[in-house]
């Protein structure tokens, strides 16, 4: 293993996994950090003394390059913030996404072990499941965005991806009830045509098309939102989720409603910096009404949430610094 001279972060595109878990601390190393796409393989000599961090996926061009030049690396790590290595947990996800996870991640487990890659994970659940590897656990860092202008509307939102299909369905009766009793309320959700059809009959609901991560970061802070929702039904895939939704919601200027037993619930003190409720639509309607009923109280909770985000971020930077100070490979 060579001495560490530089870092390559291999990622499909600019993405929240890199932004939350890797880049903030890597940029403070004082070493060159190169973000490389799937096909942007460097010349072999650039790998001498490099730590290569594969973010969620292992594309073919990088697998071939790394296999040929593994002996000159300072280290090799695979980072995941969802359980992308076990096909058994993919049930219920869209089939295209399941195939992508198999093609770029789960079928590569043997390759990663054979190349002595270190496993970096985002949650205690993933660390426990893959304890035999053994993994190192990272924590997310909040991102420095400032929410935009206020308006008289009361904005409640859920921004999830296609992998949250059941959680989106759960919110239909919640949105229907909230919109029925408050003409100033707007309910915002991200999704494609299927999501649009679910919410089409609800006046005051808006469905925002999915967008690349850089565009989403700008969109999410373009105007102040008031209440953010983070439902999380029980499923093997959801058990591996981290608490980055807490950062998303707080950064948008909103106070969150979080699912009891979720990762977000482990960092939120209910009633102080958010609300934690069971997965029952009535409880979620009541929680949103509670937050919207008293603006000074909501703003005090937002201030507390921002304090929590800053504390979690500082601890996460220390955690990643400790991981980078350790050897970056596992025994064969």
Half-sphere exposure of 256 (CA within 13 A, CB side): 32
Q: By C-alpha distance, which of 45, 32, 24 is closest to 312?
A: 24
Amino acid 151: pLDDT: 59
Amino acid 41: pLDDT: 92
Taking a C-beta distance cutoff of 8 angstroms, is the pair 115, 70 a contact?
Answer: yes
Amino acid 26: pLDDT: 83
Taking a C-beta distance cutoff of 8 angstroms, is the pair 159, 220 a contact?
Answer: yes
Query: For residue range 242-262, what is the model confidence (pLDDT) as tens digits?
Result: 999 999 999 999 999 999 999
Amino acid 1: pLDDT: 47
Amino acid 120: pLDDT: 96
Taking a C-beta distance cutoff of 8 angstroms, is the pair 147, 225 a contact?
Answer: yes
Predicted TM-score (pTM) above 0.85: no
Q: How many residues comprise the chain? A: 332
pLDDT tens for the 332 residues of the chain, in order: 457 889 999 999 999 999 999 988 787 778 899 999 999 899 999 999 999 999 999 999 999 999 999 999 999 999 999 999 999 999 888 888 999 999 999 999 999 999 999 999 999 999 999 999 999 999 999 887 666 655 568 999 999 876 678 898 999 999 999 999 888 899 999 888 888 888 988 989 989 888 998 998 888 888 789 999 999 988 888 888 899 999 999 999 999 999 999 999 999 999 999 999 999 999 999 999 999 999 999 999 999 999 999 999 999 888 887 887 776 666 55
Amino acid 114: pLDDT: 95
Which neighbouring-strand residues pair with 79? Answer: 55, 120
Contacts of 38-47 with CB under 8 Å at 24 or more apart are 38/10, 38/12, 38/62, 41/65, 42/8, 44/68, 44/69, 44/72, 46/6, 47/8, 47/72, 47/73
Amino acid 67: pLDDT: 95
Taking a C-beta distance cutoff of 8 angstroms, is the pair 118, 75 a contact?
Answer: yes
């Amino acid at each position: 293993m060579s001495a560490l001279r530089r870092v390559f972060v291999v990622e499909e595109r600019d993405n929240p996994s890199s932004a939350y878990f890797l880049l903030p601390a890597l940029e403070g190393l004082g070493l060159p950090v190169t973000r490389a796409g799937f096909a942007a393989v460097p010349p072999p000599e650039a790998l001498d003394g490099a730590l290569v961090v594969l973010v969620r996926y292992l594309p073919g061009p990088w697998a071939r390059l790394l296999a040929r030049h593994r002996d000159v690396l300072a280290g090799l790590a695979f980072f995941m913030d969802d359980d992308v290595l076990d096909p058994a947990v993919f049930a219920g996800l869209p089939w295209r996404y399941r195939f992508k996870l198999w093609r770029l991640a789960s079928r590569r487990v043997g390759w990663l072990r054979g190349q002595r890659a270190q496993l970096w994970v985002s949650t205690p659940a993933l660390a426990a499941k893959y304890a035999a590897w053994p993994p190192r656990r990272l924590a997310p860092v909040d991102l420095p965005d400032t929410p935009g202008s206020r308006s008289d509307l009361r904005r409640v939102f859920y921004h999830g991806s296609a992998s949250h299909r059941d959680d989106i369905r759960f919110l239909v009766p919640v949105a229907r009830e909230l919109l029925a009793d408050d003409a100033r309320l707007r309910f915002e959700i991200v999704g494609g045509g299927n999501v649009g059809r679910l919410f089409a009959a609800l006046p005051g609901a808006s469905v925002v098309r999915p967008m690349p991560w850089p565009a989403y970061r700008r969109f999410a802070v373009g105007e102040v939102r008031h209440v953010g929702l983070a439902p999380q039904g029980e499923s093997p895939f959801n058990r591996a989720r981290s608490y980055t939704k807490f950062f998303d919601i707080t950064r948008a200027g909103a106070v969150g409603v979080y699912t009891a037993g979720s990762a977000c619930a482990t960092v939120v003190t209910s009633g102080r910096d958010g609300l934690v409720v069971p997965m029952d639509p009535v409880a979620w309607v009541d929680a949103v009404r509670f937050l919207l009923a008293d603006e000074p109280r909501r703003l005090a909770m937002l201030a507390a949430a921002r304090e929590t985000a800053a504390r979690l971020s500082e601890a996460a930077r220390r955690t990643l610094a400790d991981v980078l100070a350790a050897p970056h490979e596992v025994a064969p």
